[in-house]
Amino acid sequence: MRAGIYRVLRIAVVAAAAVFGYRWLAPMGFGWVVPVVGGAVLLAWLGARLWRVRRERRRDAQADRWADALVHSAGRADAIAELRAERAKQLPKEPAEHAHLSLVLAELLEADGDAEGAIAVLEDVRSAGLTPSLAAVLRHARAVAHLSAGDPEAARATLDEEPEPSGDRAIDLRIRMMRGLIEAETGNPAEAKRVAAEARDDALDDEDLRLEARVLAAVAFDAAGQRPQALKRMRRLGNEMLEVLVLLGLPRVRGLAVEALEDRPSDS
């Protein structure tokens, strides 16, 4: 609604300027300048509009290819190469876009089993100029990569680099749950269970966050030597989510997801 009002106002202003310009120039014999300039402006606007549409379509196509490469390894190498090239173009002019591309690239590298490569990519991102929430997302992603590489202490140190909260409730809750995962991997499953219970309540009606809290609870039970209870919680996630976790989960989560799928009857 507001965008439409602004568009009408812009058209009205341009039309008024054209009428004024013509009345001013016509007595001097230069009235033809107004339609010529107007036509040039219109062509320039149409060209810019077409360029933006093509750019957005190209970005959408790229995003589709990268998302597909997360679950299909056949196109992953090409997607990684494309992302590296796109990412290199963004610094120093677009630090936020560079950060976003780095996050996607790190996900692809982790899906490809290259956690160390993901760490290197994320550590190359400069935090200067980023919003607090985006910086927190990057910090969380680096912690995930360290945990994937089997180094929970490095994951903890990464989260401790900056004070919390970031100002984004969902991101801050994910960082708390990441701390719970670290506790589970460093011999404190009771604390991980406590964090999972609190996170499930704090997630309110956000189903994605509630699901992540359930995964944390399963990891905590498994770290406590309670594998049957862990698998019971994993099976509640459903086959579709388990299949995603087999591909994209942390090492312990992948193992639990594989076993839960093997023991669970197929959805009819």
Give me 201's structure tokens: 């309540």
pLDDT, residue 8, reads 46
Instruction: Output 79 or 163, whichever has higher pLDDT.
Output: 79
Are the CB atoms for 197 and 217 separated by under 8 Å?
yes
pLDDT at 50 over 60: no
Whether the predicted pLDDT of 164 surpasses 60 = yes
Domain ranges of the chain: 167-268
Sequence-distant (≥ 6) Cβ neighbours of residue 217 within 8 angstroms:
193, 196, 197, 200, 233
Span 190-227, pLDDT tens digits: 999 999 999 999 999 999 999 999 999 999 999 999 99
Residue 128 near residue 99, CB atoms below 8 Å: no
In a 10 Å sphere around its CB, with 0-12 CB exposed, 13-18 middle and 19+ buried, how is residue 80 labelled? buried
pLDDT digit string (tens) for 110-158?
989 999 999 999 999 988 788 999 999 999 999 999 999 999 999 999 9
Q: What is the pLDDT of residue 68?
A: 81
List CB contacts of 108: < 8 A, sequence separation 6 or more.
66, 69, 70, 76, 79, 80, 83
Which pLDDT score is estimated for 202? 95
How far apart, in whole angstroms, are the C-alpha atoms of residue 228 and residue 215? 14
Q: Angle, to 10 degrees, between the axis of helix 189-202 and the axis of helix 169-185?
A: 160
Question: Is pLDDT larger for residue 141 or for residue 12?
Answer: 141
User: Residue 19 CB: number of other CB atoms within 10 A?
Assistant: 11
143 touches 159 (CB < 8 A): yes
Per-residue confidence (pLDDT) for residue 71, from 0 to 100: 78
